[in-house]
Amino acid sequence: MRRLILAALVALAVPLGAQAQAVELAGVKYEPQAELGGQKLVLNGAGIRYKAIFKVYTAGLYLKEKTGTPDGVFGMSGPKRLSIHMLREIDANELGKLFTKGMQDNATPEDFSKSIPGVMRIAEVFAAKKKMSAGEGFAVDFVPGTGTVISVNGKVQGEPIKEPEFFTTLMRIWLGKNPADGQLKDALLGIQAQGRSR
């Protein structure tokens, strides 16, 4: 009996929000934690990218600690991960072009020019893939000292992108002043919850 009372008191002492939960979006589950570069990351937020009324993909942002602002994401040290899962088929070459446009729309000319080698690399990855089908996914990982690593369906694609500006420039597609989807931006920042926790 004493153990039950002690367990109940410990549970009450933990804030409700501190208990990490997985988030499910359109059948895609984002775990509350991930490991990258030997460090534990937490799910900062996750949401769905809509095009008109259609669900295109889900996205989840993992950081070493939670933040609710774009500057907090960009300025945070340590590894970071953006994980994307497709909900419908899309031409991969077209996806690469959309990413390039999204970076141009949200970066200064100077930052974009510094990121051109990375822009060309990610365009090559998607051009070689031909198409991304529903159920497939890719991740963009930033690992300090290594660079930006792109994985498609869990398989690393070529060498890391060394330019340190590239990851931030890429992230501005979703978190910049002209984001691809304003609701998705809020969801990735944990401002607006999408889906359900479990």
pLDDT for the residue numbered 18 = 41
pLDDT for the residue numbered 10 = 34
Cβ–Cβ under 8 Å, residues 93 and 122: no
pLDDT for the residue numbered 165 = 86
> Which uninterrupted H or E stretch holds 141?
strand 137-143
How do the pLDDT tens digits run along the chain, 198 residues long? 444 333 333 333 333 344 468 899 999 999 999 999 999 999 999 999 998 889 999 999 999 999 999 999 999 999 999 999 999 999 988 888 888 899 999 999 998 999 999 988 988 888 888 899 999 999 999 999 999 999 999 999 989 999 888 999 999 999 999 999 999 999 999 987 665 454
Distance CA 81, CA 69 (A): 16
Q: Where are the alpha helices (DSSP H) in 48-198?
A: 70-75, 92-106, 109-114, 116-129, 165-175, 182-188
pLDDT for the residue numbered 16 = 38
Distance CA 137, CA 30 (A): 12
CATH, range 20-197: 3.50.70.10
Distance CA 2, CA 5 (A): 5
pLDDT for the residue numbered 129 = 85
User: Which DSSP category does 180 fall into?
Assistant: S
pLDDT for the residue numbered 12 = 36
